[in-house]
Structure 1
């Protein structure tokens, strides 16, 4: 029986693809004089920000600097982010059914405050695990296991909804079922290993 549903944020709850890519483009142009096309930056979606920056930095100091500037640039584009259709409805229904609902994201706590809080969804979630809360990050299992410990939940009774390969590996390594959020995911043959494929958020109800 499934009694816990955990969600990724970017590409799963909110559509931030334009925000993240355009803000990173701006950062790379300003800091590295690089004009990188959109398709070459799709790799940044669904992974921790500092991990994304590594490709364009040669030291830890430079990673921190570029990541900090990128975080500031994200704020210039956040008004382009939007909630995916039916997300608030499914959160309402999950809570009404007594399901534990949580977030496990690669965003830091500060990024969540700047980029997510204004959607007004925080009260739906019983736990929110960010990159600031664990030493290891997706695709490692630790963030999901940390969330389940906080909730008193069991992996085999849980679903993690996400849009990236990192999400899938993290979920399955933790022993939870991975549900692919097709509404935010890029095509990838590796997703054939997903436990569940969701065309729309409301389909989650079919697996409770």
Structure 2
């Protein structure tokens, strides 16, 4: 069916929900004296950090300060980041089957170095598109378009795997198929335009 699979990172390849929400909670408390419940921070999952912080300040200098503090606090929770079960095994099988694979993420290149590269999964992917590589970010189609252009593959043979509405909207905006990673998605009822629902990573094998 599909010859190219693009992946989101957070909530799709690695489980970072605890890390991102708790590190932001700590940052807001320390930097702005704001006490925010974890469930009220779930909206940040799947969007760029800068966009998440714009909910708390419109001041550019303060935003930059918050970003730096948040990035430092993320490292304090790094032990809670993990690769989802089955993911590496499935990536290995997809690679062996000749499937081209890429990463399209809202993480910056620096965030990828500290939060993703440590898991030694990079060699499975043919391209990485981060928030540092495009002017526009998800849900805009530019990140997916850039990945497809760099891979020189057909849109009709490409699918994007993600866990957020931003992921789905980005895929749909560029006109490719989208599959929900059920293991990372918070509310499956939101994905009314999804083409596939994957209960577990091994379901990816049914797409090729």
The equivalent residue for 2:192 is 192
Normalised to the residue count of structure 1, the TM-score between the two structures is 0.98
On the 8 A contact 2:159/2:177 being kept in 1, the answer is yes
Structure 2 CA distance for aligned equivalents of residues 54 and 188 of structure 1: 26
Deviation at 1:156, TM superposition (A): 1.4
Match of 2:55 in 1: 55
CA distance in 2, matches of 1:178, 1:207: 11
**CA deviation map 1:33-75 (0-9, x unaligned):** 0111111000000000000000111212222221121111101
Matched residue SS, 1:128: strand
Q: Which runs of 4+ in 1 moved over 3 A?
A: none
Matched-pair contact (CA < 8 Å) for 2:140–2:173: yes
Task: State how far apart, in whole Å, the 1-side matches of 2:190 and 2:113 are.
Answer: 32
SS of structure 2 residue aligned to 1:102: strand
After the TM superposition, which residues 131-146 of structure 1 pair with which residues of structure 2 at under 5 Å, given as runs?
A: 131-146=131-146
> Partner residue of 1:86?
86
Tell me the distance in 1 between the aligned counterparts of 2:107 and 2:189.
26
Write the mapping of 1:1-208 to structure 2, written as runs, cut at 5 A.
1-208=1-208
Between 152-161 and 55-64, report the one with greater CA deviation. 55-64
| TM-score scaled by length of structure 2 | 0.98
- 1:160 is paired with a residue whose SS is strand
After superposing the two structures, state which structure 1 stretch, 63-72 or 24-33, moved more. Answer: 63-72
* Whole-angstrom CA distance in 2 between matches of 1:206 and 1:188: 20
Counterparts of 1:119 and 1:204, CA distance in 2: 20
Runs of 5+ unmatched residues, structure 1: none
Deviation at 1:188, TM superposition (A): 4.6
Q: CA RMSD for the aligned pairs?
A: 0.9
Question: 1-side partners of 2:189 and 2:97: how far apart?
Answer: 34
Check conservation: 2:182, 2:188, Cα contact below 8 A. no
How far apart are the structure 1 equivalents of 2:38 and 2:156?
Answer: 38
